[in-house]
Structure formats: structure tokens, C-alpha cells
Structure 1
């Protein structure tokens, strides 16, 4: 097919408020390099990491929650460490989620892949990079908030599913984050508490924990309890309820903040605590006696084994997990979509539809 010279995209011009997201219709269409493919993006979705990167919340100079200044940006956030892995280069096209079709291939890519429907692996180790190197789609390289995007061919993973592009686009970032947490915890048929359970990662964790045979307790607002029960939660706790003492083998915590160390109090002896987010604030208080007297294990979870995304695609194709899409916006309404995301009244994910009209 003949490719256009320019495309529509939302471009992040720097750390700050929603005004840093600029709608443009003259962005050059990227060309795939050796070993890469060009994808015509069908849909993307909104994630906490998109918002946190925009605001510079990852900077160690920011000590508050992820939402209090997310519309305006955080005063004092440092450009030197405003991205999750350090400094970010601008302008940047964000969007950690992407579903689309391959429309062109770079040198060395099998030409029969043209037309393939794919999901983009949101995190990967660059070829030739050291063991700790990691690239996040939409952060260290341009992502899915555009009509076209490029990625290494091995990270454009074929998907065979009757689900829509928007539905599929809600899986990659949130579900791979949740599956990474669960795999690090070694979760089996055990008692697990999931905080922030109504969000994208939390609702994914509910489903993924259930498929492993766990007894799932979801912590959420009262208005979302029924929806989480329908997703598979065996029990629910209000987000302001007291943490039950020594009641769980594993806690998957996405919240952090002032309710700490409640999640540790809730763990049984030998329990495992896994965190991959801190929407209520990153600075917490820890009584070391709780940690060592209960023989607890504390686990941080960001980097993912390649099998995480491969497993996720397999679960989708087998119909073992389902998308939770609360609303959908066109790409040119990305600011409005992020405003809705920050309101936290939604359940699951907010999709971004990217069509010819964007």
C-alpha cells in the first residue's frame, strides 16, 4: 500500500499539565528500520504510566499521589528523572497500548507478515542491551497515540481474536503489569488481596489471579463491588475498611500511600507483598518488626520476563480473560480521556479509537 507522508498524532512536548498534549496533523509517518515493522494503529488506551510520565511524577522530587496535580503537572518535578527510567526526550508520542495491523516491513522482516493483526509488547529489552536495560513503548520510544507507529518485528505479536481493536488495546500494559506481579509472587491457589482493584491493572489482576485458582479479595469503592464480583472476585473490601490481620498469603498493592503498613499487617506469616504502583503516594511508613517477625517478602515489579506477554496473548486467544472497557474516545479527544481517567469513576480501562478520522 502507498503510505502517506504525514499522520495525525498527539505529541507530548514536555512534562507538565494536559496542555502539554498537542494535537497535530503534520507528524511525519515513521519508516521502519531494519528488523522493524510499521503498524497502522487501530486503537490505544489510557494508562497510569502515560499520565505519570506526562506530569513527571516519577521524579524523586515528587512525593504526593498521582492524581492531585495530574491535570496541571507537579511543581518541582525534575526533567532529569521525570520518566520512569530517568530523563525523557521530547517531543514524544506516548501510548503504551497498541492494537493494529502491519502495513510495511523493514529490511530482514518476513514480507508475509504484511496485514497481520498485532498487539505491541509494551516492555522489552533492546537487542544488545545489558541485562537491566528496558524500553517502554510510548516512553523511551514513540507509542500508540498516532495513526502509525514502528516497533521491532519480534515485539509486534500476532493476535487471533474476535475482539475489537479497542477491546484488544486495553490488554497490553495493564494485563502484562498484573501478570508480571502475579508471576513474581508465584501465586497459586492461595488467598490474595488486590488493592486498587477497579483500575486497569487491578481489574486485570482479579481475572489473572482467578485463572490461577486463587481466592481473590478486591479492595475498592462500594460502587464498584458488584462489577468486581462479576469479574471473579470472591470477596470485596471497601477502600476505607480496616485491613484484616494476617488474612492473606499475597498482597498485590497498586495504591501505597497513607494506609500503609496495612497491607503488611494483612499478610500471614511468610506472606509476599508485591507492588507496581503508588497512586495514593510513594512515601510510606514501615515498621521493620512487622517485616522480620512475620518473615515477609517484599517485591517490586516492573521488568517483565518475555514469557509474560506471550502468556497474555495465549490467555486472550483462549478466551480466559476479557477486556473491561468503560468508555472510548477518539484520539483527538485524548485530553478529555485523561481527564476522565483522573476522575477515577470508571471501571477498568478507557480506550482510544484511532481511525481515518482519528
Structure 2
């Protein structure tokens, strides 16, 4: 079969690869569409440990079982990744795909969506509270802004680099106000639209912007951090943290049953409340272009279709 392959030097190319075969507790899936994200690039660069190459990248997608059932899958079993004609997935990681959602929207909502839903649920947003989405223009941020509103937020502020995408979120009603980062003093920019301080921060980028965001919160605030695109560390004084909490929230490492329950809650929201996220679709033959686009920090979810 044809598949994308990552070499030991991190190179990406389409090539022939052995077919996966069914194994106990696993199913072979005929892939219709595959999603890629920042963690796929980090894995290829050895961020999670030495690269056992060659391997097929990508872990999530939508496809069909041998009985024709349309399913979503989130964790392909290495070395059979999602950017291929077929992949191998543990049965507990294969979840129903509702007919009302397209392949690209389902992929965009699943891992990115639960990455927003779980930390926002753990922040326990009280009705009417002010929520800041830090790194708002990517898939997680777009979903997070919508989910925060559904969980009771009275005011949602979107912050990121890129004025055009922020203004589009505001025009769509997903944000009440926006803050442009990277133009000088991030702390001042965040405070200028905080109306006295944020109660909850969904931090997708960490680093210096997270420091600025914490200093723009009010007493009792909860910050949940889930990504490190802006840097792996922050520097905060005890004074910055008094009467506030800050937690790093992992989602992908949780048991499949817990992730499946979050997926079900999110899909129900999407079907009844119309959650949407920007996507960029590429044909399988153009998978290398999709990989390069992901490296460029796209605002929409990258989806490769067959």
C-alpha cells in the first residue's frame, strides 16, 4: 500500500509500505481522511524520544471497517500511522462517526476538541465568568472559545498573533473581544480588554504569553495549560499566584474510556450546538505539502483525504 514515511532524519515522503494485518484486540481500518497536528511534527523531530524509523506518521482519522462501518480513530498503532491507505488501531480507540459531521470536521473536533473541552470542564467555569483563550486562532482555541460559552462563560476573549483571524472569530460571535499578542507588551494588551481580570484562562501556547495572562487574572482565577508552542517554561512569582491556580492538563495520556466519554460529550455539542472549526484539506498525493503546511503553524486543522 502507499503511505507517508518518516525517515530517521525526520524526512517525509510517500512510498510503498507493508499492509497492516488484523491482530488480537485491533482492527484494520481503510483510511478515508487523516489529521495531522503539532505533536506529529514533534514526534518526527525526536521530541518524545528516539525516532524508530521508518514509520508512518499521523494517529487520527476517519475510515471504514471491513463491515463498512464509518468510524473515527485517534491512536493508530505504530508503525502503521494514519497517513496511509490502511492503518491498525486498537478496538478501544475506534469510535462511532456520526453521519451529520464531515470527515474533516470530525477530525478537527475530536482530539483538538477534547483538548479544549477537558481543561475547560476542569476549570469549572461559573455562569457569567470571563474566559481568556490564549492561542485562540488554532483548532483548539477556536473550539475552546465556543465550548467556554456553552459551559456558561459570560465573556470570552480571544488572544493570539494574527489580527485577521482574531477579527474573524469576533465577527463569528466566538469572542466578545480580542487581544493581539507579539506586538510589544502582551500583559498590557491582555489587561486592556480584561474588564478587571480573567476568571479562567485556557492556555494553549505557554511561555511568556502565559506569564502575561496570569498577571491579567483576578483573585480566584484558574489557568489550565495544554501546549508549549510559545515556550516550555514560565517565570511567575508567588505574588502572581496568590489566590490563583495553575495546572498542566494532559488529555491524550488519559484512559481510552475517559477520552471516549469526552469525545461523546463534544460530538453531542457539535450536533446540537453547531460547533465548527476551520480546516485545510489536502489530497493524499499532496501529503508532503500538508506536512510542510503544518510546520508553518496553520490556523485551521490540516486534513489529508483519500
Q: Give TM-score scaled by structure 1 length.
A: 0.74
Match of 1:211 in 2: 150
Match of 1:116 in 2: 69
Match of 2:141 in 1: 202
Choose which of 156, 159, 177 in structure 2 pairs with 1:235: 177
Match of 2:240 in 1: 290
Choose which of 2, 15, 18 in structure 2 pairs with 1:8: 2
Match of 2:165 in 1: 224
Superposition deviation, residue 227 in structure 1: 1.8
2:285 counterpart of 1:332: yes
Deviation string for 1:262-299 (max 9, x for gaps)? 111112111111111111111222212211x2x21111
Deviation string for 1:12-53 (max 9, x for gaps)? 22364xxx11211x2122112123222111111221111121
Superposition deviation, residue 261 in structure 1: 1.6
CA distance in 1, matches of 2:19, 2:271: 31
Report 1:61-210 matches (<5 A): 82-83=47-48, 86-103=49-66, 114-120=67-73, 122=74, 137=75, 142-189=80-127, 190-210=129-149
Superposition deviation, residue 319 in structure 1: 4.8
Match of 2:14 in 1: 23
What SS does the corresponding residue of 1:167 show, helix, strand or coil? helix
8 Å contact from structure 1 (residues 30, 38) kept in 2 = yes
Match of 1:33 in 2: 23
Superposition deviation, residue 88 in structure 1: 4.9
8 Å contact from structure 1 (residues 193, 251) kept in 2 = yes
RMSD: 2.2
Q: Say how many residue pairs are matched.
A: 288
Q: Structure 2 vs 1, CA of residues 150 and 159 (structure 1 numbering), >3 Å: closer, same or farther? A: same
Match of 1:130 in 2: none
Superposition deviation, residue 118 in structure 1: 0.9
Q: Structure 2 vs 1, CA of residues 192 and 140 (structure 1 numbering), >3 Å: closer, same or farther? A: farther
Between Structure 1 and Structure 2, which shows a larger proportion of helix residues? 2
Q: Give TM-score scaled by structure 2 length.
A: 0.86
Deviation string for 1:295-317 (max 9, x for gaps)? 21111111343321221232333
